[in-house]
């Protein structure tokens, strides 16, 4: 075993049974509870008297206290409650873990009656004897020692705090933020892996993760890879070898619905994450130990599955909800966890945009979910967030006399000052969305030529495959590029960017069935795009699907419709497609089509490669210039996050995370029956590199 702080070499808590939960409540004292729990869960490995066994070291005596002596008992409690038993950290309740720490303190000569929060592990006494564990498996003899071998180098020993400047302009070898930098481009300048040698890629290392939906993009800093896994667990791996450096598992309240996350965030010495029980928390990036943990105010009835943006010393998180009054974006001081502000993503009466809800009272306005992390623009100092639609389409479908039914801030880009929450500008990409075709995805910052002038812009697209270009300083509408598969927007105002919907395709229970493209599941959806500044090309994958909206009582949308998947009328049976779009002209330069839909985001590299992954468990490399497929490899699980690339000691790596469960993964099983959803949802991180490096 290894402790997160590197102090513990072999003295972890090992269990072959997991029957300890509840012992702290059943016994009359914490010490008795600790003895009962230890006997049931730990004695087989650590010895009946804690002196060590065949499979794990001693939890008392000079060796143990040389590592843990004089530390606060809370440090040991945090470690064992998140890391032990091996492979099942967090499976015992908190009271049982506390009772085990009380036992360890007592067995090392400490006072078991001291309140644990105030307790300190005793200092190391003289070395003990080798009397054995009483189980016939005493452990390792000190009389015949193993040959000396230096411990492996730990990249965490050289971890340096992450600065704001590095989050917007990382060094070439790192991936310290979601989409690599806070510009949201998903581009790395690394070029060791090229179109010519990509066929030589092979597995460099792989690590299993807890099974379940795992959709977070890994981060890499100073040779350490951080991965958020299912069950609110975070792993730190040596990014060159895959060796686990530490693991954190949050103990969740019973009954919490676990939510996958798109990202975690690094800031200074901290790793910041949002949790499924609606908290924000920071871990020490070197050890995995909690630093601060705060509940998100006014978060009842929301979900957290996007992930934080940390910029200008502020940790921001968007939440998803259909509760009365809409959802929020919340902000906290990144160093202390102090709550700074909340912003209502559904505008309320008396606030900007509050008069756009067809006269509805505030508590009857719904939607405005945020389930994608934001971007940060150092040129303007603004944080840019996307907001989704409302499923409560009925009350706003038909505008009432004298009213406005646009429904701000649904389907909008919001530009905030991170420290204060001041809304500097906003732009609504699609007013009064009646289809669940939201615009909540990444906001990509770029510098491109528009109408003959260089402009600093933000680019973002909706499920319908329309990509708007806005001025990043003001939110002024500039242009729209069309991927070419939607058929319900019949006009776009060239000055304002307002989209005009075909009135014959607006659905409801009082109308006939409507057939239109794309489907509410996308089109373009969960998977982020990639942008290459030097070529001003945007690369995005999508699903070629349409939908029938059938009138019904009730319905998925409250206008009274249920949504059915359909193939396009002229479908060739290839439902996944990848496009390269010139964002200066809006022209689709090429398109690559394949049978299995894509499920992972797009990564672009400096050598002209694209990487992504699909529902047939293939990870694939393409040419940026032509869309030609250049390499593929099969994985055990469905690639479910965006791939990343990084370099350690001059060697370039490409990493993929599997663990089916993002919204794309469930949409098309009947379209491609030869690619069934996996019955065993394995999760892992796979890292590729050139074989000859």
pLDDT at 634: 96
Residues 179 and 131 in one domain: no
Residues 284 and 355 in one domain: yes
Q: Using an 8 Å Cβ cutoff, are 665 and 683 in contact?
A: no
Q: How would you list the strands of the sheet with 546-551, edge to edge?
A: 514-516, 546-551, 561-566
Residues 512 and 607 in one domain: yes
- The answer to the question of residue 7 being in a domain is no
Instruction: Say what percent of the chain tops pLDDT 70.
Output: 92
Asked if residue 21 has pLDDT above 50, the reply is no
CA 20 to chain centre: 32
Residues 133 and 252 in one domain: no
pTM score above 0.95: no
Residue 353's domain is classified under what CATH number?
A: 2.140.10.10
Q: State the average pLDDT over residues 553-577.
A: 95
Q: State the average pLDDT over residues 95-122.
A: 84
- Which carries the bigger pLDDT value, residue 445 or residue 69? 445
pLDDT at 28: 74
Q: State the average pLDDT over residues 138-145.
A: 69
Cα(522)–Cα(304) distance, integer angstroms = 21
- The answer to the question of residue 153 being in a domain is no
Instruction: Say what percent of the chain tops pLDDT 90.
Output: 73
Residues 396 and 275 in one domain: yes
Asked if residue 190 has pLDDT above 90, the reply is yes
Residues 109 and 248 in one domain: no
pLDDT at 693: 64
Dihedrals phi, psi of 363, to nearest 5 degrees = -80, 0
- The answer to the question of residue 380 being in a domain is yes
Q: Using an 8 Å Cβ cutoff, are 332 and 315 in contact?
A: yes
Q: State the average pLDDT over residues 375-392.
A: 97
Residues 402 and 475 in one domain: yes
Work out the number of other CB atoms within 10 angstroms of the CB of residue 27: 17
**The pair of three-digit structure tokens given for residue 610, joined into one six-digit string:** 């694209």
Asked if residue 24 has pLDDT above 60, the reply is no
pLDDT at 112: 74
- The answer to the question of residue 155 being in a domain is no
Q: Report the range of poorest mean pLDDT among 250-264, 280-294, 497-511, 586-600.
A: 250-264
Number of domains in the chain: 2
Asked if residue 321 has pLDDT above 80, the reply is yes
pLDDT digits 0-9 by tens, 268-290? 999 999 999 999 999 999 999 99
253: which DSSP letter? P
Residues 135 and 178 in one domain: no
Q: Which of 80, 106, 141 is the last residue of a domain?
A: 141
- The answer to the question of residue 369 being in a domain is yes
Residues 332 and 391 in one domain: yes
pLDDT at 140: 64
- The answer to the question of residue 678 being in a domain is yes
pLDDT at 88: 60
- The answer to the question of residue 262 being in a domain is yes
Residues 295 and 326 in one domain: yes
- Which carries the bigger pLDDT value, residue 447 or residue 691? 447
- Which carries the bigger pLDDT value, residue 471 or residue 7? 471
Residue span of the structural domain in which 73 resides: 23-141
- Which carries the bigger pLDDT value, residue 308 or residue 522? 308
Question: CA neighbours within 13 Å on the CB side: how many for 71?
Answer: 18
- The answer to the question of residue 434 being in a domain is yes
Residues 256 and 136 in one domain: no
- Which carries the bigger pLDDT value, residue 51 or residue 545? 545
Residues 123 and 182 in one domain: no
Q: Using an 8 Å Cβ cutoff, are 421 and 340 in contact?
A: yes
Closest listed residue to residue 433, CA positions, set 336, 368, 497: 368
Residue 64's domain is classified under what CATH number?
A: 1.10.760.10
């Amino acid at each position: 075993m290894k402790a997160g702080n590197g102090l513990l070499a072999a003295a972890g808590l090992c269990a072959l049974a997991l029957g300890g939960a509840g012992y702290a409540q059943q016994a009359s004292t914490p010490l008795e509870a600790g003895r009962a729990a230890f006997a049931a869960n730990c004695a087989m490995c650590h010895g009946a008297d804690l002196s060590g066994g065949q499979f794990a070291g001693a939890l008392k005596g000079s060796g143990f206290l040389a590592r843990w002596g004089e530390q606060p008992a809370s440090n040991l409690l945090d470690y064992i409650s998140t890391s032990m038993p091996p492979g099942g950290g967090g499976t015992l309740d908190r009271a049982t873990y506390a009772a085990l720490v009380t036992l360890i303190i007592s067995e090392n000569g400490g006072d078991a009656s001291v309140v644990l929060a105030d307790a300190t592990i005793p200092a190391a006494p003289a070395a003990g004897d080798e009397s054995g564990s009483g189980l016939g498996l005493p452990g390792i003899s000190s009389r015949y020692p193993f040959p000396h071998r230096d411990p492996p180098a730990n990249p965490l020993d050289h971890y340096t705090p992450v600065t704001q400047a590095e989050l917007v302009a990382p060094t070439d070898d790192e991936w310290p933020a979601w989409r690599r930098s806070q510009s949201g481009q998903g581009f790395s300048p690394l070029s060791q892996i090229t179109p010519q040698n990509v066929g030589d890629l092979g597995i460099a290392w792989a690590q299993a993760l807890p099974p379940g939906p795992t959709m977070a993009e890994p981060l890499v800093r100073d040779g350490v890879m951080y991965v958020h896994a299912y069950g609110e667990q975070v792993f730190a791996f040596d990014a060159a070898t895959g060796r686990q450096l530490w693991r954190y598992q949050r103990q969740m309240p019973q009954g919490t619905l676990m939510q996958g996350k798109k990202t975690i965030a690094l800031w200074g010495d901290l790793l910041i994450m949002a949790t499924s029980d609606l908290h924000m928390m920071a871990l020490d990036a070197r050890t995995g130990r909690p630093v601060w943990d705060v509940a998100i105010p006014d978060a009842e009835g929301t979900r957290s599955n996007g992930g934080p943006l940390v910029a200008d010393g502020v940790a921001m998180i968007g939440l998803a909800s259909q509760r009365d009054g809409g959802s929020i974006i919340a902000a906290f001081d990144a160093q202390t966890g102090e709550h700074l502000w909340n912003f209502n993503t559904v505008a309320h009466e008396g606030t900007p945009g509050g008069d756009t809800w067809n006269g509805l009272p505030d508590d009857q306005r719904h939607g405005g979910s945020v389930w994608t992390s934001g971007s940060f623009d150092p040129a303007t100092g603004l944080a840019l967030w996307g907001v989704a639609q409302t499923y409560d389409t009925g009350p706003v479908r038909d505008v009432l006399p004298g009213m406005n039914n646009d429904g701000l801030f649904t389907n909008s880009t919001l530009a905030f000052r991170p420290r204060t929450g001041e809304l500097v500008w906003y732009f609504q990409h699609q007013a009064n969305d009646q289809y669940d075709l939201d615009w909540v995805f990444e906001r990509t910052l770029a510098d491109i030529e528009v109408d003959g002038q260089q402009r600093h812009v933000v680019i973002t697209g909706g499920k319908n495959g329309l990509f708007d270009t806005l001025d990043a300083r003001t939110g002024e509408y500039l242009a729209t590029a069309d991927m070419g598969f939607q058929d319900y927007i019949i006009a776009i105002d060239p000055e304002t960017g307002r989209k005009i919907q075909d009135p014959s395709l607006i659905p409801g229970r009082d109308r006939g069935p409507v057939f239109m493209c794309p489907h509410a599941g996308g089109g373009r959806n969960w998977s982020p795009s990639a942008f290459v500044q030097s070529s001003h090309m945007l690369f995005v994958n999508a699903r070629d699907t349409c939908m029938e909206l059938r009138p019904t009582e009730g319905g998925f949308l409250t206008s009274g419709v249920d949504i059915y998947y359909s193939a396009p009328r002229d479908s060739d049976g290839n439902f996944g497609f990848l496009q390269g779009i010139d964002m200066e002209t809006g022209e689709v330069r090429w398109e690559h089509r394949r049978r299995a839909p894509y499920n992972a985001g797009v990564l672009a590299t400096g050598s002209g490669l694209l990487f992504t992954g699909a529902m047939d468990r293939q990870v694939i490399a393409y040419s940026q210039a032509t869309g030609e497929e250049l390499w593929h490899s099969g994985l055990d699980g469905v690639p479910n996050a965006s791939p990343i690339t990084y370099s350690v000691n001059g060697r370039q790596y490409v990493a993929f995370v599997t663990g089916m469960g993002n919204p794309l993964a469930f949409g098309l099983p009947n379209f491609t029956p030869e690619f069934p959803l996996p019955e065993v949802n394995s999760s892992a991180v796979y890292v590729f590199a050139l074989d000859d490096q």
